[in-house]
Amino acid sequence: MTRTKIVFVGAGSVVFTQGLLADLFAFPELKDAHIALHDIDPERLATAHGAARLIADDRGASPRITAHADRREALVDAHFVINIIQVGMREATRTDFDVPAGYGLRQTIGDTLGIGGIFRALRTFPVLRALGEDIAELCPDAWLLNYTNPMAMNVGYLRRATGLTRVVGLCHSVYWTMQGLAELVGVPYEEVDYLAAGVNHQAWVLRFEHAGADLYPELDALIARDEQLRRRVRVDMYRRLGYYPTETSEHSSEYVPWYLGHDSEISRLRLPVGAYLDIVDENVAAYESTRSALAAGQPVPVESTMEYAPQIIHSITTGTPRTVYGNVPNQGLIDNLPADGVVEVPCLVDRLGVQPTRVGALPAQLAALNRTYLSVNDLVVRAALEDDPRHIRHAAMIDPATAAVLPVERIWDLCDDLVRAHGDLLQPGLRATLGH
Q: Which of 172, 210, 391, 422 is catalytic?
A: 172
Would you list the DSSP string of 281-294?
HHHHHHHHHHHHHH
Answer yes or no: is 347 a known binding residue.
no
Closest CA to 326 of 180, 163, 128, 174: 174
Read off the amino acid at residue 231: R
Closest CA to 173 of 251, 227, 119: 251
**Contact between residue 337 and residue 330 where contact means Cβ atoms under 8 Å apart:** yes
Helix ranges, 11-113 (H): 14-25, 42-58, 71-75, 89-101
CA dihedral (170, 171, 172, 173) positive or negative: negative
Answer yes or no: is 171 a known binding residue.
yes
Would you list the DSSP string of 107-157?
-SS-SSSHHHHHHHHHHHHHHHHHHHHHHHHH-TT-EEEE-PSSHHHHHHH
Q: At what angle do helices 114-138 and 89-101 cross, to 10 degrees?
A: 150
* 282 Cβ contact list (under 8 Å, min separation 6): none
3-state secondary structure of 14: helix
* 172 in catalytic set: yes
Q: How many CB atoms lie within 10 A of CB 403?
A: 15
Closest CA to 168 of 380, 312, 71: 312
- Which residues contribute to the annotated binding site for substrate? 149
| Positions marked active-site | 172
- Which residues contribute to the annotated binding site for Mn(2+)? 171, 201
